[in-house]
Amino acid sequence: MAKGKQIQSVKGMHDILPDQWPSRDFIFKKAKTILEDYDFERIETPVLEETELFERGVGEGTDIVEKEMYSFKTKGGDSVTMRPEGTAPIVRAYIEHGMKSLPQPVKLYYLSPMFRHEQPQGGRLRQFWQIGTEFLGESSFSADAELIFILWKIFEEIGLKDSVTLQISSIGDSNCRPDYKKALKDYYKNKLKKVCVPCRVKYKKNVFRMLDCIQQECKEISAKAPQIFDFLDDECKTHFKNVLEFLEEAKVPYILNPYLVRGLDYYTRTVFEIWTEEDNIALAAGGRYDKLIETLGSQKTEAAGWAIGIERVAEFLKKKEVKIPKAKPEPKVFLAQLGDLAKKRSLIMFEQFRKASVTLKASFTRDSIKSQLRIANKLGVRFTLILGQREALDGTIILRDMESSVQETLPLEGIVEVIKKRLKEK
């Protein structure tokens, strides 16, 4: 690096600035409340995992494994990867910590950063955050339905349910999917010259991924491709029918999308995504993954889950002008001080007000009363408490009404209760 060149954040990595936290906290708090009401418990896994976990779990033919993972060798020669998604690590933790012996199902949620070396785009950078759930040890359709219902309720709680759509499908399982795969291969075989180059590669490696290509010529061809619903066996049909009936009973609106596929190999049966209505951006996605736990070395255990992209949702909240509540109440009192003794006493007094749940502000580094009063005016507080050197010695304090500019001197002892009473009177 040239000497004196300004060092900036790595491409695709981003700082989360103070003014960006209210919307993120708003999303997380709403989600956390709902998830914990439905008995989900929080889990966090390490940022670094063995590379093999994602190669086996996510799938070697996926874009994530082939192109997007941050993988490297440690000094000890181990191949590790920065977590690109949340499900495989939690399944690893489920197996490693013997959670199979716990009462089933095990219901977990996480709030974690993920890392993918992909082209940065709106709401999705190379480091991005997700809230996700995993419902482990349950094969019933009711687990799928509960997860979708909870996901919809979160979007309802954050004020976006009228601006998003829930798309849902079934991708079958190992019994019925091979026939569908063959039908897609036959359909696309004579159309390979008309699709994009990446889709020709997908044809050989994972033909299902051709269905979600965003290139216009590929979308037009995919729109006439065979539909998965014609290939589901009786078990998969019944499972999917029950999920849809549950959603209808719960009044969760959905759109059937027979071409919905997920970018991870571990999905089976139910898959779903939440999309913005205006510009078709995916905000959340998930599905069932009945083979993953077995693939990673444990006995067969059915599971399902979903993840919400925090950055994308935060951007969409801003676009829709959803009002985000302030993280803290507006201060009603400002504490001004002058002199060393007053500063020492003020710090103790500030803590007394904080413990009494009175929101106040102070500027302990300012020496000028005039500059402190300017801050108090800017904050729009109702009262300013002024503690000078003389007041500190006398055990008194000046109370200034910021509306009338009337000042009075009061005993320092009991001032917290006096302020609480005055605030109630105003």
Q: What pTM did the predictor assign?
A: 0.85
User: Can you tell me which residue has the tokens 């190379």?
Assistant: 126
Cβ–Cβ < 8 Å for 285, 262:
yes
Q: What backbone torsions phi and psi does residue 114 show, to the nearest 5 degrees?
A: -120, 160
Q: Within a 13 Å sphere around the CA of 386, how many CA atoms are in the beta-carbon half? A: 21
- Quick one: pLDDT at residue 302? 94
Same domain, 269 and 125: yes
Q: Decide if 206 is inside a domain.
A: no
- Quick one: pLDDT at residue 60? 63
Same domain, 118 and 171: yes
Q: Decide if 104 is inside a domain.
A: yes
Q: Give the CATH number, domain containing residue 97.
A: 3.30.930.10
Average pLDDT score over the chain: 89
Same domain, 290 and 164: yes
- How many CB atoms neighbour CB 304 within 10 A? 31
Q: Beta strands of 97-243 (E only): which ranges? A: 106-115, 127-136, 164-170
Same domain, 356 and 278: no
Same domain, 276 and 388: no
Q: Decide if 193 is inside a domain.
A: no
Q: Beta strands of 277-342 (E only): which ranges? A: 282-288, 303-309, 333-337
- Quick one: pLDDT at residue 61? 62
Q: Decide if 102 is inside a domain.
A: yes
- Quick one: pLDDT at residue 251? 94
Q: Decide if 242 is inside a domain.
A: yes
Same domain, 313 and 367: no
Q: Which of 61-65, 95-99, 211-215 has the lowest mean pLDDT?
A: 61-65
Per the structure, the complete domain to which residue 137 belongs is given by: 18-176+232-319
Give the dihedral sign, CA 211/64/151/27.
Answer: negative
Same domain, 304 and 372: no
Q: Decide if 154 is inside a domain.
A: yes
Q: Decide if 217 is inside a domain.
A: no
> DSSP state, 291?
S
Cβ–Cβ < 8 Å for 229, 271:
no
Closest Cα partner for 392 from 334, 333, 336?
336
Identity of residue 187 = Y
pLDDT in tens, 195-241: 898 888 888 888 888 887 878 888 889 888 888 899 999 999 999 99
Give the residue from 266, 297, 319 where a domain finishes.
Answer: 319
134: helix, strand or coil: strand
Same domain, 281 and 368: no
**Region 139-160: what's the mean pLDDT?**
95
Q: Residue 412 pLDDT more than 90?
A: no
Q: Which of 41-45, 148-152, 409-413 has the lowest mean pLDDT?
A: 409-413
Domain count, the chain: 2
Same domain, 304 and 341: no
Q: Decide if 308 is inside a domain.
A: yes
Q: Give the CATH number, domain containing residue 401.
A: 3.40.50.800
Same domain, 404 and 377: yes
Give me 5's structure tokens: 């060149």
CA dihedral of 179, 184, 186, 192, whole degrees rounded to 10: -160
Give me 345's structure tokens: 């006493």
Give the dihedral sign, CA 343/347/353/359.
Answer: positive
Same domain, 339 and 315: no
Give the residue from 319, 344, 374 where a domain finishes.
Answer: 319
Please provide the size of the chain in residues: 426
Same domain, 275 and 405: no
pLDDT in tens, 45-62: 999 999 999 888 787 666
Give the residue from 277, 293, 319 where a domain finishes.
Answer: 319
